[in-house]
Structure 1
Amino acid sequence: MKSPIKRIASTLFVIAIASILLIGIAFVGKESTGPVEDFFRGISGSVSKLEEDYILKKRSETRADKLDWLAEYKQNSDLLKNPDPVFLGAYDNQAIPSFQPIIDLEDSLGVTFPFIHFYTAWGSKREQRFPIEQIRAISTLGSIPFLTWEPWLNDFSEEEIPSLGSSEDRDKSGLKDIASGLYDPYLIRWAKEAKNTQTTILLRMGHEMNDPYRYPWGPQNNQPEDFVAAWRHVVNLFREQGADNVLWVWAPHLAYGYFEEYYPGDEYVDWVGTGTLNYGTVAPWSEWWSFDEIFAKYYEEFAAFKKPILLSEFGSLAVGGNRAEWYGKAFENFPQRFPQVKALVFFHNKNDATTTFQSLNWYIINDSETLSEIKKQFQTW
């Protein structure tokens, strides 16, 4: 066992390297995208790897060892287009910069997640560049990265994308601009970097495109055929760059229909995804819905696309009903009832302010009754 002095010294070393990284980034400046920033991004990757090596690999059975069976899926994306097992995963808003919160959730549930989910947006800011550090860290941990990629168009600079209109007008028919190639310089860089990761990546682009209230890429600004054209353009561009390791997750909102109109076609979609969140009675527009009421009635319609189904945001609040019972009934005989659902990703957000004026807490890690019910059902799968 390593002595306390050595452990303290190693920890101080990590802190020192991280401090140098932060100072360097601050010196480079917020908008820098040149070789100096690339250098510091490389250091950031080294810090992430050091953290993984030091903290995570000290466990008696490493996480990567538990996911040794997943290696073939990471190396050959074609295998993930028609998988046999049900892949579990999670998103945790506290998992920045370390994925330790997701590992804590795994420990609480007695599972190891093959998928780790996070969100990133389009744009010219540093945090909107290709997330190589997160991809590298997830892959090192043995999992497959699952990204939700949101086409917010107001964050692009005219230096990166020439001929941009005013930021106020970019969302109006923005999908037509994507399909026409206006954003290709940004997309090509993403495609090249995705290819260079040499690991399978699931990419959920422009989710809930049929929702007219939530996102600017919705029908309030675009027609369904605009979405289809933009989706196909982006997928074709990635393929032209050789990024065949990227799998495309098409994910409409369950409640707003028009699925066929927004479907880009079998050759452009690898997975069909959707969110399944129970908001309970937290807002005037919501009530306590069971998982069957949220998803089951749409299952056959989604299964008709003959693609593996991914429940990309799965969870329930505790306001308005019995949350443990909600999870228990959702997971009861799940593989038999929904054989085409091949992935389920927990939405584990402690401070979700994206939907209501109040911050919502989707965390289950401190809810012993809910954890116990989930584990009991998992044991029957």
Structure 2
Amino acid sequence: MVRLTLPRVALVLVGALLLTYAFKVAPATVDGPRKTTPSDRIAQAGPDVVAPAVASEPPPPPPAVFPPGGRTFIGVMTDKGPYDLTPVDTFTAAARHQPQVLLFSVGWGAAPFDRTLFDRIRDRGMLPMLGWEPWDERVDAAARKRKLTTRQIDKLRSDQPAYRLSRVARGDFDSHLLAWAEGIRSLGYPVAIRFAHEMNGHWYPWCGAVNGNRPGDYVKAWRHVHDLFRDAGATNVIWVWSANVRWSDAAPALAPLYPGDGYVDWIGMTGYYGSGAFSQYRPFDAIFKRTVTEIRAFSRKPLVITETAASEASERKAEWISQTFRMLPDYPDIIGLIWFEVNKERDWRIVSSAAASKAFAEAVAVPRYDVSWSPEAVPRGEVGR
């Protein structure tokens, strides 16, 4: 029997180590240094070799929403629109605030598509909102030159059989519509279209109760225009359905005039303090709340005050401005307010007095109205869901 002594054990261990070196390590050095896998290449040999991780591109951030949640944009409409931006500059200086939307009107009577109008607005950091009006606007201009009364002007301009809603719906203006659809598609950035606004009134030829229009014609005309744009690939349109506020029970109900949520992106409202049914002092609530409630019975689309302003009736214009902006946060569904900065019939401009300018500037100098627009932004969608 061989006795294991400490020297013998040590000798056995040394021998085992030498054999391991000979069979595992030494062959790699017979013909030179042992080869290694380059760090920039994926190793193919051996399960114990781990390929380096391939860096992946991070997903792009989602586009900004206009306006962001909890914010309200401020827009402006002037008598010059993008043809002359001087009134916009004057408004901006008085408000000490950059508007994010410029609303301007174009009639179908004599206006071909003109890209420069939209680009001028975009280049100023504002979303173009086109008030697109199916009528011959020159009838209105001629009536005003004759210095007729408001009632006489309304009667003359609302009677334009060539622009009956049934003619729009059956495609009589399709060549004109298609030219505009292709032009707006080519812009490559969003454009809001406020088509045939205040349809529940009686002063435009597209209103439901005048010009030979029949119940249902307005919805048919709206859907026809919308579908033609869609089929032409003009998917960069924000469709704005814009009614006049309900001033009495005698005014037409809004639901029968609504084309449906599938045809509308934003719902607009027009309402002023200081004329007509609202000649006496009425706060924002008294002018708009009833209409907001009625709209919410049939749609959850975002709301925009597409036209508003105050006159110096009762010498309370500055007060009305301040009170309006204090009340707006009570209406979280209202995502925008467009001021009618025009001296027309009454001086609605904030620059009409130092007090009005000061009230407006102070009202919008809070975080709620700290909003910017960019061509890459996507419009706010349905609210409250």
| TM-score, scaled relative to structure 1 | 0.68
Tell me how far apart the structure 1 counterparts of residues 313 and 137 of structure 2 sit (CA, whole Å).
35
83 and 245 in structure 1: CA distance in 2 versus 1, 3 angstrom threshold: farther
AA partner of residue 328 (structure 2): F
Partner-residue secondary structure (3-state), 1:199: coil
Partner of 2:258: 263
Aligned-pair distance for 1:284?
8.9
Partner of 1:290: 283
Which of 262, 272, 289 is the aligned partner of 1:277? 272
1:137-184 alpha-carbon deviations (Å, 9 max, x no partner)? 00111111011111105879xxxxxxxxxx998527811111111110
Cα contact 1:311–1:341 (8 A) shared by 2? yes
81 and 174 in structure 1: CA distance in 2 versus 1, 3 angstrom threshold: farther
Aligned-pair distance for 1:228?
0.4
Is 1:326–2:312 an aligned residue pair? no
243 and 83 in structure 1: CA distance in 2 versus 1, 3 angstrom threshold: farther
Cα contact 1:276–1:295 (8 A) shared by 2? yes
1:308-335 alpha-carbon deviations (Å, 9 max, x no partner)? 1111111001123411111111111422
Aligned-pair distance for 1:101?
1.8
1:109-145 alpha-carbon deviations (Å, 9 max, x no partner)? 121111011111012x2xx112322101001111110
Partner of 2:78: 92
Partner of 2:100: 114
1:179-215 alpha-carbon deviations (Å, 9 max, x no partner)? 111110100001000101111111111111111x211
- Which structure's residues are more often helix, by fraction? 1
RMSD (Å), alpha carbons: 2.7
313 and 284 in structure 1: CA distance in 2 versus 1, 3 angstrom threshold: closer
Partner of 1:22: none
Aligned-pair distance for 1:237?
0.2
Aligned-pair distance for 1:72?
5.0
Cα contact 2:194–2:241 (8 A) shared by 1? yes
Partner of 2:204: 215
Q: Which has the larger radius of gyration?
A: 2
Partner of 1:198: 188
Cα contact 1:122–1:155 (8 A) shared by 2? no
Structure of higher RCO (CA pairs closer than 8 Å, 6+ residues apart) = 2
Partner-residue secondary structure (3-state), 2:351: coil
1:229-269 alpha-carbon deviations (Å, 9 max, x no partner)? 11001000000010001111101121224111000011000
Aligned-pair distance for 1:224?
3.5
Is 1:238–2:242 an aligned residue pair? no
AA partner of residue 329 (structure 1): Q
Aligned-pair distance for 1:105?
1.1
261 and 72 in structure 1: CA distance in 2 versus 1, 3 angstrom threshold: same
Count of paired positions: 282
Aligned-pair distance for 1:285?
8.4
Which of 123, 143, 164 is the aligned partner of 1:174? 164
Partner of 1:56: none
Is 1:139–2:122 an aligned residue pair? yes
319 and 266 in structure 1: CA distance in 2 versus 1, 3 angstrom threshold: same
Taking every aligned residue pair, what percent have the same amino acid on both sides? 28
Is 1:225–2:216 an aligned residue pair? yes
Partner of 2:245: 254
Aligned-pair distance for 1:291?
1.8
Cα contact 2:106–2:133 (8 A) shared by 1? yes
AA partner of residue 107 (structure 1): A
Cα contact 1:316–1:362 (8 A) shared by 2? yes
AA partner of residue 279 (structure 1): G
Cα contact 2:274–2:311 (8 A) shared by 1? yes
1:84-129 alpha-carbon deviations (Å, 9 max, x no partner)? 5311110111446321321221122121111011111012x2xx11
Partner-residue secondary structure (3-state), 1:136: helix
294 and 285 in structure 1: CA distance in 2 versus 1, 3 angstrom threshold: closer
| TM-score, scaled relative to structure 2 | 0.67
Tell me how far apart the structure 2 counterparts of residues 284 and 303 of structure 1 sit (CA, whole Å).
23
AA partner of residue 246 (structure 1): V
Structure 2 unmatched ranges of 5 or more: 1-61, 140-156, 369-385
